[in-house]
Amino acid sequence: MVRGQWGGAGEIGHMSVDYHGRTCICGGIGCLEEYASGTSISKRMNELLLAEAAYDAARDGPVDTRETVKRWLLGDPVAGRVMNEAFEALGTAISSLSHLFNPELVVIGGGLAEVGEPVLRRIEGETRKKTMPSFFPERGIQLAANGNRSAMIGAAMQLWV
Ligand SMILES: [Zn+2]
C-alpha cells in the first residue's frame, strides 16, 4: 500500500489528463475529475444542451449524470460526446497509472462501474490505445463487484490493517 507522506496518496481525481484542459477547483489544469466525475459529466451535458438552440433549460430542466448515461446508452449524440470525453480521460489516467505502477489488474469502482459492460468496454479500449502493450494489465480491467460502495469498503478495511 502506497500511503504517501501524510496519507494523501492515490488522489487520482486530481491527476491531470490534459495540461491544456479545464481549470480544476484544486488549482490544477485538466484534472481527471473535471471530465469523468459524476458532477462533471452532468455539468458538461447541461453546458452542451444549453448551447443547442432547441434546448430550453427552463422547460426541459437540468439533466443529471444517470440520465446522461441513459441517453448515451440509447445513442444520443450529445450524451455520446460527454461520455467519450469521460472515457478518453479515464483511459489516459489508467494508461499513466499502468506505466507508473505496472499493475497486474485494474479495478474500477464508483457509480460508472455500476453501468457494467458498455462502460468497461470503452474504458478498456481507451486505455489500450494509450498503453504500451507490455504494460497493459495482464489480468485486464475489471469493474468492482461492490460498485459505488467499493471506496467506502476499502477505507473501512484500512482500519483493520
Ligand atoms: Zn484538481
Amino acid, res. 43: K
**Under 8 Å between Cβ of 15 and 5:** no
**How many angstroms separate the alpha carbon of residue 54 from the centre of ligand 1?**
33
Quick: pLDDT tens for 111-144. Answer: 888 899 999 999 999 999 999 999 999 999 999 8
Cα–ligand 1 centroid distance for 47 (angstroms): 20
> Residue with C-alpha cell 469523468?
36
> Which residue in the block uniquely carries the three cell numbers 469521460?
86
- Per-residue pLDDT, 113: 86
Residue pLDDT, tens place only, 10-37: 899 999 999 999 999 999 999 999 999 9
Q: Please say whether the structural domain 13-158 has been given the CATH code 3.30.420.40.
A: yes
Report the separation in Å between the CA atom of 110 and the middle of ligand 1, taken as the mean of its atom positions.
Answer: 18
Distance 59 CA to ligand 1 centre (A): 33
Assess whether pLDDT exceeds 90 at residue 101. yes
Centroid of ligand 1 to alpha carbon of 20 (angstroms): 13
Among 57, 59, 58, 81, smallest CA distance to 68 is for 81
CA dist 111 and 149 (Å) reads 9
Query: Can you give the residue ranges of every domain in the chain?
Result: 13-158
